[in-house]
Amino acid sequence: MRIRRTWVNNALSISALLLSSSTAYAASCCGGGNATSLVLPKFGNQMIDVSFDMEDYKGYWNQEGDYTKDPAGSDLNQYRLNLGYAHRVADNWQASVTLPYVWNDNTYPGVVSKENGVGDMSASFWYETFDQVTCVYQVNSLADLRPAIYIGGTLTLPTGKSAYGDDATSSFDITGRGLYRFDANLLIEKTVYPFTVTLQGSYGKYLERDVNQEYGTAVAPYKKNLGDRTFVSASLGYTYFLEELDTLTFTAALADLREGEGEIDGVSDPLTEFEKQSVALTTAYASSDLRWVFKGTFSHALRQDGRGENFPTTDILTLGVSYAFY
């Protein structure tokens, strides 16, 4: 099989692109490390964030939620280099952009495939409902319990290779989903040192698109949409203060991701509906001035029956660094 006829698993790419933004970037209103989206610390004016994901595929849940292993001898992996940049545009407003570059490296008993390309880019804006950092060392009054609440939106642009564009000639070339999506985001975070609790949620809607080709082959034109997407996660962190006031933070998170039924020409398409539950552990080292944060996250999909539906189960190791300007 020639290279262009080998492939990047459609489902694999979908998984990667959905999850990459969840844990790859770490910041908090106080600086330091947590497992949240790309959020500029309260004191920061700009931030760059670079991270590298290594995602290993370990079977999938079928539509009934039963876990099924990948075929013997298969080794499916996706790697992503994520470039992120955040900029404070006003006292309580910030904007950010992220762009992944994706490498697919898949081995089945009968096929070896390696492909790469730009993934789907996303642009976000956030409004901070608070004027001062909310991290405290002691709770002396009710006011000290006030959390940091962020309200935001994210637009995902289909800059990756999808099944519907010119660039992918088979399912193994895919690095993006091919549809625009807008997510409304809510992030609630409270730190009472040494503990930090974070709740994060998003609700996304895709924009319907026209399709007139699949994998470079013309097909009868139709309209496609994907189902609404919901993502929720809860995390608990513990911070150790090191010498010179550097910090080391450990965070455990539980996440649930799902999408509803899509549509083909306005008719329900339940075959794209899915669910995935996962846990993640993050370790973050922050410099005392909170400019530098080095992070490592391991995200593990819960492989038990019923912990997901119609979706791959993957482990993701993320290594990253961010630098805040202020």
Partner 1 sequence: MRFIKSLCIALTLVAMTISTTGCLEDLKSESKDLRTDTSVGGDDSAPAVDFIELSTESETIQLSSELMNNDAVVLYYTMWCPICDSHMSHLRSNVVDHYRNVRYLVVDYVSGSVAQSRNSQVSNGYASFTVLSDSDQSLIEQFNATMGTTVVIDDQNKILMNEDYKNGARLIEVLETLQ
By CB under 8 A, the residues from 226 to 245 that bind partner 1 are none
Residues 132-161 that bind partner 1 (CB under 8 A): 157-161
Q: Which stretch binds partner 1 (CB under 8 A): 31-39, 216-224, 244-252, 293-301?
A: 216-224
Per-residue contact string for residues 39-58; x = within reach of partner 1 by CB under 8 A: -------x-x----------
Q: Which residue, 70 or 315, has its beta carbon nearer to partner 1?
A: 70
Between residues 224 and 229, which has the closer beta carbon with respect to partner 1?
A: 224
Query: Is residue 67 a contact point for partner 1 (CB under 8 A)?
Result: no
* CA-based nearest residue to 180, from 162, 210, 213, 206: 206
- Which C-beta is closer to partner 1: that of 265 or that of 305? 265
From 148, 211, 253, 284, residue interacting with partner 1 (rule: CB under 8 A): 211
Residue with Cβ nearer partner 1 (101 or 193): 101
Please, which residue, 52 or 101, has the CB nearer to partner 1?
A: 101
Tell whether residue 172 is a contact of partner 1 (CB under 8 A). yes
User: CA geometry: angle at 298 spanning 150 and 293, to 5°?
Assistant: 55
Q: Mind giving me the DSSP string for 19-45? A: HHHHHSB---TTSS--SBSS---TT-S
Binding mask 259-298 for partner 1 (x = CB under 8 A): ---x-xx-xxxxxx-x------------------------
Cis peptide leading into residue 194 (ω within 30°): yes
Number of residues in contact with partner 1 under rule CB under 8 A: 78
CA angle in degrees (0–180, nearest 5) for 84-86-89? 160
Which residue in 85, 130, 250, 298 binds partner 1 (CB under 8 A)? 85
Q: Is 302 in the site for partner 1 (CB under 8 A)?
A: no
19 binds partner 1 (CB under 8 A): no
Query: What is d(CA 157, CA 182) in angstroms, rounded to the nearest whole number?
Result: 9
Applying CB under 8 A, does 210 fall inside the site for partner 1?
yes
Distance linking the first and last C-alpha atoms of the chain: 53
304: DSSP letter:
S
| 287 φ, ψ (degrees, to nearest 5) | -70, 160
Residues with Cβ within 8 Å of 76's Cβ and at least 6 positions away in sequence, in order, are 9, 12, 56, 57, 70, 106, 107
Which of 3, 68, 75, 306 is in the footprint of partner 1 by CB under 8 A? Answer: 68
For 193-302, where are the E strands, in sequence order? 195-206, 209-214, 217-225, 229-241, 247-259, 262-264, 267-269, 274-286, 292-301
Does 1 contact partner 1 by CB under 8 A?
A: yes
Q: How far apart are CA 59 and CA 223, in angstroms?
A: 31
171 forms part of the interface with partner 1 (CB under 8 A): yes
The amino acid occupying position 276 is: K
